Amino acid sequence: MASLLDTMERRLADLDAASLRRSLQPPRGLDLSSNDYLGLASHPAWVAGIQRRLAEQGTDPRAAVASPASRLLRGNTERHMALEARLAAWKGTSAALLFTSGFQANVGLLSTVVEGRDRVISDIANHASLIDGLRLARCRKVLVPHLDLDAIERALASEGPAGGRTFLLTESLYSMDGDIAPLDVYAELCERYGAELIIDDSHATGIYGEKRGSGLCEHFAVADRALAVVSTFGKALVSSGGFVAGSQVLIDYLVNRCRAFIFTTAAPPLHLYAVEAALDLVEAEPQRRQRVLELATTLRRRLRQGGLDCLGSRGPIVPVWVGDAERSLAVAAQLQDEGFDVRAIRPPTVPTGGARLRLSVHADHRPEDLDHLAERLLAILPAAVRANAP
Ligand SMILES: Cc1ncc(COP(=O)(O)O)c(C=O)c1O
């Protein structure tokens, strides 16, 4: 039998041959690939907000970065709990619980609340962390085509598992397609068929929600109709970490039963300051969310008018369909050489044959830079995509 490392090497070579091998690249050029939709990472007030909090804590840096225990031991502070209360009020639920990443939040939540005898109706485009959470839950999975309401209703109406519950699992703003799930319709269907709704609101957090900017659960007024709403800080809030928002009972249950919460170290205070400072800015500058949506709409309109396929996208994520993985890499490389940090998204992140460029529009992008990007894309891509058409 080949050695394990030889096997790995061969598999990497296979990925290479299929243009599917990944490698880590530092950022270069205009940022069109991070999820800093509101442009907070380079906002002086965000940094100032963190610095002010650091100064308030005194001069000992350990007070900001030390995190010597899990929340259930000495890792918990008043500050963690205050942030959770703020997040719950912001999302419109009665409680919330911090996790060290959005991935952990999804895996932890699903592996705790979904049990082996349950079935989960899950959109085929759901994020890897949702899929892995279901794997850990060892439940029955019913995969439905992306945003297919009929398929969802058919699945909900079909007989559920004896002695088990049914869940509907969805993202709100889809990360690779940039389209939006009709959460109000989902909530109604779940109520009609007695199913539990779980929503990953990660990409919409900070962008949607007319009043508070807390996400699409606010926009569709469904936060209190879902069992749980999950979000990450790693998109518009430009920090690391994530949280689950829901009823007090759900959060108490997670504190007692969720292994991804119980058996891990608490976030250090510095992370909390970063999130607090980002939340302050979402509150203080609602015009940022309006601006990013306007910029994305203009870019999308130009690309579509030029014949490119931006799928069903509506928000700050503008996918541009290419199809072939190798071609998507070549186009991304050309754009990078021209100063645009555009990345190709390839399988297995997207389905086979569905490679695309994923443009992430930010509130602080200059319209002239996006115009120039559109011009270059329209010069490079239509021929490439046509050549690739089936
Ligand atoms: C929809 C969705 N959920 C969860 C996550 C995971 O969040 P985090 O990056 O905080 O682990 C991501 C990030 O890639 C995501 O796109």
For each of the chain's 390 residues, which pLDDT tens digit applies? 899 999 999 999 999 999 999 999 899 899 999 999 999 999 999 999 999 999 988 767 677 888 889 999 999 999 999 999 999 999 999 999 999 999 999 999 999 999 999 999 999 999 999 999 999 999 999 999 999 999 999 999 999 889 999 999 999 999 999 999 999 999 999 999 999 999 999 999 999 999 999 999 999 999 999 999 999 999 999 999 999 999 999 999 999 999 999 999 999 999 999 999 999 999 999 999 999 999 999 999 999 999 999 999 999 999 999 999 999 999 999 999 999 999 999 999 999 999 999 999 999 999 999 999 999 999 998 766 655 554
CA distance 226 to 138: 22
Q: Is 91 a catalytic residue?
A: no
The structural domains of the chain, ordered by start, are: 29-39+286-388 (3.90.1150.10), 67-284 (3.40.640.10)
Provide the pLDDT for residue 59. 67
- Ligand 1 is surrounded, with C-beta below 6 A, by 101-103, 106, 127, 129, 171, 175, 200, 202-203, 232, 234, 242
For 23, counting Cβ atoms within 10 Å of its Cβ (0-12 exposed, 13-18 middle, 19+ buried), the class is exposed
Provide the pLDDT for residue 79. 95
| Degrees, nearest 5: CA angle 281-207-192 | 130
Q: Is 256 a catalytic residue?
A: no
Helices (H), the chain: 4-17, 44-56, 62-65, 78-91, 102-113, 128-137, 149-157, 183-193, 216-219, 248-257, 259-262, 269-284, 287-305, 325-337, 367-388
Q: Is 360 a catalytic residue?
A: no
* Ligand 1 centroid to residue 296 C-alpha, Å: 21
Provide the pLDDT for residue 388. 56
CA distance 236 to 36: 5
Model's pTM, two decimal places? Answer: 0.96
Q: Is 159 a catalytic residue?
A: no
H and E: helices and strands count for the chain: 15, 12
Q: Please name the residues in contact with 18: beta carbons below 8 A apart, sequence gap of 6 or more.
A: 325
Across the beta sheet with 166-171, the strand order is 95-99, 242-246, 228-232, 196-200, 166-171, 119-123, 140-144
* Ligand 1 centroid to residue 356 C-alpha, Å: 19
Tokens matching residue 28:
């270069």
CA distance 340 to 369: 9
Query: What are φ and ψ of residue 76, in 5° steps?
Result: -85, 140
* Ligand 1 centroid to residue 202 C-alpha, Å: 6
Provide the pLDDT for residue 390. 46
